[in-house]
Structure 1
């Protein structure tokens, strides 16, 4: 299985996807089918990706423009936006099953933000508002642990009185026994068969487990052991 899971698609001071072009070039070849359903403007979103990948010589087809595009894709890229809108669209169309089948058969998968959330067993650790209601929270299950893209560390100087990202993940673990990897901006996960590594900027990630203190994960760390865990969820949705 070939996965590239980006925390974010735009880095400060960089163009869309510019910070990840080198690693994208390693995963993508001649063409990719882009899944734009996390945003409302599917044509505009697809064109943005087409422009960003042009330096790599990658041809981009929107999944919404061709009926069998995903079934015939050489690679699949699922973009960011609202995770619930993305999941609902893919579940109702049946394309969630198509993507899962194709990726497990060897088709490379690239996700960014919401597309990265989708790679886990569920979308329960997304940062997004449920602007629509999907039939369930079940996602692709391409990795057996949860991911929290755009992870933000607690700011001790902040006057904000709402929950920190750390607190929200802790609450998730009170109800579900499955690790959560909070990946900071500019980082990504790369899976090649049974190997999983953290790449991107040195800021790294934070790993949360039930009953343990959060652990820092440095860039370049081998996280393959996370591919062997068994997730246990509260099933009452």
Structure 2
């Protein structure tokens, strides 16, 4: 049974790395002593070792050890035997490319669907959807496919931003970009605002946090949903 947290971000304004969600993670990861971290997204080009160190410094606050997947000789086996898995933010295209390069897509799908806890933030959340086509990231590398892990039956747009009515910027809004997506694709998209997350437990998908999320369905007017709303009807 799937046990997943899909979080919009790792850091909210005014708090440390993962700090806002650590109380939730204490319960979510209660049966895991060591977290397998996948640092492939490499925010700002950070090294795998430095990224893993940053994550370890956060998880030690809830008495969890962290080991990077790059430290294992056999990354597929590392996933299969993990007590819990965390995929952090950065560039979604880089992350997806590395997952395909190391033949980890199927291993992750099987392991997570069998119940190993999975935490994703930002890019690590993007890959939980059907595809990565609604990421905000620049395509700085070209993965073999835009198809993602499909843990949920829709796409995700982390860091969702509402239009700023006071801004003089005349460029496209996030909502405009998602509407463009729906000119060529039909899956729903969830705009997750900072500090929000989805709690996936089996077939249940619930919005968590204090903010609403914006839902975009093909050929429908976008709408807001409140925290604690079940979203497993979206397909």
Ranges of 4+ aligned residues in structure 1 off by more than 6 Å: none
1:143 and 1:83 mapped to 2: Cα distance?
Answer: 17
The CA deviation at 1:190 is 0.2
Partner SS for 1:198:
strand
**1:142-198 residue CA offsets vs partner (Å, 9 max, x unmatched):** 111000000000112211121100000001011111110000000000001011111
Which of 211, 227, 231 matches 1:223?
231
Match of 1:212 among 202, 217, 220: 220
Write the distance in 1 (CA, Å) between the matches of 2:122 and 2:36: 17
Q: With structure 1 as the length reference, what TM-score do the two structures score?
A: 0.93
Structure 1 residues 123-202: aligned runs within 5 Å:
123-200=132-209, 202=210
| Other structure's SS at 1:102 match | helix
SS at match of 2:78: coil
* Equivalences for residues 12-91 of structure 1 within 5 A: 12-28=13-29, 29-39=32-42, 40=45, 41-66=47-72, 67=74, 68-91=77-100
Distance 1:206 1:218 in 2: 9
The Cα shift of 1:203 comes to 1.9
Deviation of 1:224 after TM superposition, in Å, equals: 2.3
The 5 Å alignment of 1:92-103 reads: 92-103=101-112
Residues of 1 paired with 2:147 and 2:218: CA distance?
21
Equivalent residue number for residue 235 of structure 1: none
- Alpha-carbon distance between aligned partners in 2 of 1:84 and 1:131, rounded to the nearest angstrom: 7
Q: Distance in 1 between matches of 2:189 and 2:213?
A: 10
Q: Which runs of 5+ in 2 are unaligned?
A: none
| Aligned-pair CA distance for 1:221 | 1.3
> What 5-or-longer segments of structure 1 have no aligned partner?
230-237
Q: Secondary structure at the match of 1:110?
A: strand
Which of 112, 120, 128 matches 2:121?
Answer: 112
Partner-residue secondary structure (3-state), 1:152: coil
User: For 2:26 and 2:34, how far apart are their aligned partners in 1?
Assistant: 11
Q: 1:232 maps to which residue?
A: none
TM norm structure 2: 0.94
Per-residue CA distance 1:86-127 (angstroms, 9 max, x = gap): 000000110122111111111111100000000011100000
3-state SS of 2:94 partner: helix
